Amino acid sequence: MSGLDLIAFDADDTLWHNLIHFEAAEKRFGEMFSHHMAADTATARLMEAEKRNLGLYGFGVKSFTLSMIETAIEISGGAVDSATVSKLIAMGRSMLDHEIELLPHVEETLKALAAEHRLLLVTKGDLHHQERKVLASGLAHFFEGVEIVSDKKSATYEKICRRHGGKVERTLMAGNSIRSDVLPMIHAGGFGVYVPFDILWDHEHEDVPPGTPRYFEVKDLRGVIEVVKTLA
Ligand SMILES: [Mg+2]
């Protein structure tokens, strides 16, 4: 038994693929509007809209779909036809409906850790979509709690620990985003483990200040088991 009360995991691009679906849709969007401007430029305009809308719409596919429609109207000078809008809506729908593809070593890692620890899943995005993904992943039984939150701030992690009867100083959060999963948890007083993923949404990019205590970086998810052992 280690000195940890709770071990929390991010979901998107930590346990299963997520960003590949956004990247594919962004690329396809650019191609759809390449008669108005270079495809790359159209994609970049969409990504600007996504960022601009985050504060109001929050994270997730539904917000992304609205941003696609908004950008299509902008790019076309208001001339976008309803068939194109329907296509964008269909793209959004298929993103909500795709199969869950687990990342490597997910099941073995969760299984090993769940044998001796209380695990939590902490994810942000559309409530409905995230609930569906958790169910479809077949991983729900490993977790004592699933927390779907609108954003991941230090206060979010403090609240979650309190709710699950764990001390934040004795809680570890592992995920692929330094900005959302790692630093706010460390600022709250817990441990943060960075599990890199090949692609990172640039909104989530942040550097870890040198000498940050309670910070770990691992090669893949199995590394979390090693970190937990060192904290024992
Ligand atoms: Mg993530």
Q: Rounded to an integer, what distance in angstroms lies between the CA atom of residue 122 and that of residue 139?
A: 13
- CATH for the stretch 19-97: 1.10.150.240
Distance 175 CA to ligand 1 centre (A): 6
Per-residue pLDDT tens for 130-152? 999 999 999 999 999 999 998 99
Place of tokens 């893949």: 220
Residue 126, pLDDT score:
87
Residue 1 has pLDDT above 60, yes or no: no
Residue 205, pLDDT score:
74
Q: Average pLDDT in the 110-123 region?
A: 97
Which range, of 8-12, 128-132, 204-208, 224-228, averages the lowest pLDDT? 204-208
Distance 36 CA to ligand 1 centre (A): 33
Distance 176 CA to ligand 1 centre (A): 5
Distance 88 CA to ligand 1 centre (A): 24
Distance 133 CA to ligand 1 centre (A): 13
First vs last Cα of the chain: how many Å apart? 7
Q: How far is CA 8 from the centre of its chain?
A: 13
Task: Express as a percent the part of the chain with pLDDT over 90.
Answer: 89
Distance 202 CA to ligand 1 centre (A): 12
Distance 181 CA to ligand 1 centre (A): 8
Per-residue pLDDT tens for 46-57? 999 999 999 999
Q: Rounded to an integer, what distance in angstroms lies between the CA atom of residue 23 and that of residue 92?
A: 12
Please tell us whether the domain made up of 6-17+100-230 is placed in CATH 3.40.50.1000. Answer: yes
| Confidence band, pLDDT 50/70/90 cuts, at residue 206 | confident
| Confidence band, pLDDT 50/70/90 cuts, at residue 232 | confident
Token pair listed for 121: 């899943």
Distance 48 CA to ligand 1 centre (A): 20
Distance 2 CA to ligand 1 centre (A): 25
Q: Across the chain, what does the average pLDDT equal?
A: 94
Per-residue pLDDT tens for 56-113? 998 899 999 999 999 999 999 999 999 999 999 999 999 999 899 999 999 999 999 9
**pTM more than 0.85:** yes
Distance 129 CA to ligand 1 centre (A): 15
Domain edges within the chain? 6-17+100-230, 19-97
Beta bridge partners of 216: 193
Distance 221 CA to ligand 1 centre (A): 13
Distance 124 CA to ligand 1 centre (A): 8
Distance 138 CA to ligand 1 centre (A): 18
Residue 145 vs residues 6, 8, 131, 134, 172: alpha-carbon distances, Å:
10, 9, 12, 11, 14
Distance 3 CA to ligand 1 centre (A): 25
